[in-house]
Chain A
Amino acid sequence: MRAALSGLSSGRSWAVVERALRAIGRMNWLVILTGFFEPVLYLLAMGLGMGGMIGSIPGPDGRPMSYAAYIAPALMASSAMNGALIDSTFNVFFKIRFSKLYETMLSTSLGPADVAIGEIVMALLRGALYALGFLGVMGTMGLVTSWWALAMIPVALLIAFGFAALGMATTSFMRTFQQLDLVFLVMLPMFLLSSTLFPITVFPPVVQWLIMALPLWHGIELMRQLSVGILTPMTFVHVGYFVVLGVVGAIAVTLRLRKLFLR
Chain B
Amino acid sequence: MAVIEAKDLTKRFGEFTAVDGISFEVAPGESFGLLGPNGAGKSTTMRMIGGTGLRTSGSLSVLGMDPERQGPEVRASLGVVPQSDNLDTELLVRDNLIVYGRYFGLPMREVKAKTETLLEFAQLVEKANAKVDDLSGGMKRRLTIARALINDPSIILLDEPTTGLDPQARHILWDRLFRLKEQGVTLVVTTHFMDEAEQLCDRLVVMDQGRIVAEGSPAALIRQYSTREVTELRFGASRNEALLAELASLAVRAEALPDRVLLYSDDGEALLEEVNRRGLHPLTSLVRRSSLEDVFLRLTGRSLIE
Contact = CB atoms under 8 A, between A and B. Distances in A.
A145 interface: no
Contact of A15 (B51, B52, B99): B99
Contact of A7 (B51, B88, B102): B51
A104 B86 contact: yes
Contact of A10 (B52, B53, B105, B151): B105
Nearest to B92: A26
A3 interface: yes
B166 interface: no
Nearest to A3: B69
Contacts of B50: 107
A12 B89 contact: no
Interface string A225-263: 000000000000000000000000000000000000111
B90 interface: yes
Contacts of B54: 262-263
Interface in A3-39: 3, 6-7, 9-10, 12, 15-16, 18-19, 22-23, 26-27
Contacts of B95: 22
Interface residues of A, number: 29
Given A23-B90, A23-B91, A262-B71, A108 B52 contact: no
A200 interface: no
Interface SS of A by simple majority: loop
A263 B71 CA distance: 12
A105 interface: yes
A152 interface: no
A85 interface: no
A141 interface: no
A101 B91 CA distance: 11
Given A99-B89, A107-B80, A111-B71, A262 B52 contact: yes
Contacts of A104: 82, 86, 88
A22 B99 contact: yes
A241 to B, nearest CB: 33
B53 A263 contact: yes
B238 to A, nearest CB: 51
Given A109-B73, A262-B54, A19 B99 contact: yes
- Kindly name the residue among B70, B73, B86 whose own CB sees the greatest number of chain A CB atoms within 10 A: B86
Contact of B75 (A15, A22, A27, A109): A109
Given A10-B105, A18-B99, A22-B95, A261 B75 contact: no
A15 B102 contact: yes
B235 interface: no
B52 A26 contact: no
B70 A6 contact: yes
B76 interface: yes
Top 6 nearest A-B pairs (CB, nearest first) are: A7-B71, A108-B103, A23-B90, A10-B72, A109-B76, A15-B102
Given A6-B70, A108-B100, A263-B53, 15 more contacts: A7-B51, A7-B72, A9-B72, A15-B99, A15-B103, A18-B102, A19-B99, A19-B103, A22-B99, A26-B90, A99-B86, A99-B90, A104-B88, A107-B80, A109-B72
Interface of B: 50-54, 68-73, 75-76, 80, 82, 86, 88-92, 95, 99-100, 102-105, 151
